[in-house]
Amino acid sequence: MSAAVFVLAINLCVAGIFVTAFLLVAVYTRAVSARWLALAYGAGVVNVGLELILPFQVEPRLFSIGIFAAFLLAQAFAVVGLARNYRLEPPWRLLAGLVLVSMIAIVLIIDMDRRSLLRGLGYQGPYALMQLLGMLVVLRSGRRHVLDLVLLVIYALGALNFLGKPFLAVALGPGINAQAYIGTTYAAISQAVGAVLLIANGILMLVILLRDAMVTMTTQTETDPLSGLLNRRGFEDHAEKLLASARRTGVPVSIVVADLDHFKSINDQYGHPVGDVVISSFSKTLMAAADMGAMTVSGAILGRLGGEEFAALAPGSGLNTAQLFAERVRMQFAAEPVIAQAPDKRPTASYGVAQLRPDEGLFDLLRRADAALYEAKKTGRDRICVAEAEHPLPPPVSVGADRRQGSRRP
């Protein structure tokens, strides 16, 4: 048995293992990308199988074309799976065009001298282009994590491998005919390098799929489905990390807590579906205000703490910045006709603002912000109150309705 046959047998087993692995991932995570990758390695199994039986064929032309087509489709399916995993639209037209042109080209060059560099480039070139399409998908995703960069490198190495094969074939000789190929040194080297890239790509894609599946599951457990914001658990987890970083760097952090006014009466009068609309509308207002940069810095953590209570934790923001953010949210939300059944009714919310003190934890920060929120509720609602600062300051002005009435928080 030649070295190439031995490597092909290994490739067959490895491809079969990856088919099984990706199918299992598809079943347990329902990832569409895993199905395409299983299909890709399934086409790889067909490719290797045809390679193994090619030496026994009297007329190898059709088998040679089948080998080429199977491997080309395997790479095309892999590109689709990669795009699906990165939540991108696959480059369908490029893939279809490349497959069509490549199949026409292989029919035209299959009978050329196997030692011809032109034939080698025509045969291996489409494979290299498929690798470049894989690189393009990774680059379009914008992901720059270690695993994604390593995948980019593997695709680049794959492209270089296919571009270098024609020159290696000319140097070592690919065999006088298709049947003789499998016994050549060129075949042994080509299949060995292919096996390394096959295994590296398969393992890496499995790890990336599992990583992304875990991220998705974590996001689902941390996200409130109605508002699209973090739930209490997610908010607290992210907030603790942010506060720990702020303590190390000395960056100021402020929090805004909000509670919808008379929310129970909205549910009682219009029904819970309308109450859900009000919650969703307030969440969108909160997110829009954060995206507009009202906090002056990015990285604000937004959450629905439960019921009609919300919170926004902003790094790099002092009391004044957080107060301005709360005022922006208050004005925008109060101006929107949220309830279709009563377009003249404008739901409102009350707000409490507090800035993190040295050595203060999230619990105490929330407690002080809640106290300020309670003050806003007690003094008329639809307003903003600020918690006491670290050092004694003049009594803060309550923003909103207080400003209109000229009152001050005692």
Helix residue ranges per DSSP H, 257-318: 263-270, 272-291
Burial letters 172-207, b for 16+ CB under 10 A, else e = eebbeebbebbebebbbbbbebbbebbbbbbebbbe
Q: Name the DSSP letter for residue 300.
A: -
Q: Determine the 3-state secondary structure of 383 from DSSP.
A: strand
Burial class (CB in 10 A: 0-12, 13-18, 19+), 225: exposed
| Rounded Cα gap, residues 398 and 395, in angstroms | 9
Q: 314, 254 in Cβ contact below 8 A?
A: yes
Tokens of 71: 């491997």
| Rounded Cα gap, residues 11 and 198, in angstroms | 8
Q: Determine the 3-state secondary structure of 378 from DSSP.
A: helix
Nearest residue to 384 via CA among 393, 366, 372 = 372
Nearest residue to 261 via CA among 286, 290, 282 = 282
Place of tokens 């045969």: 123
Q: Determine the 3-state secondary structure of 231 from DSSP.
A: coil
Tokens of 317: 């923001």
Q: 236, 302 in Cβ contact below 8 A?
A: no
Instruction: Tell me the catalytic residues.
Output: 308
DSSP state letters, 353-377:
EEEPPTT--HHHHHHHHHHHHHHHH
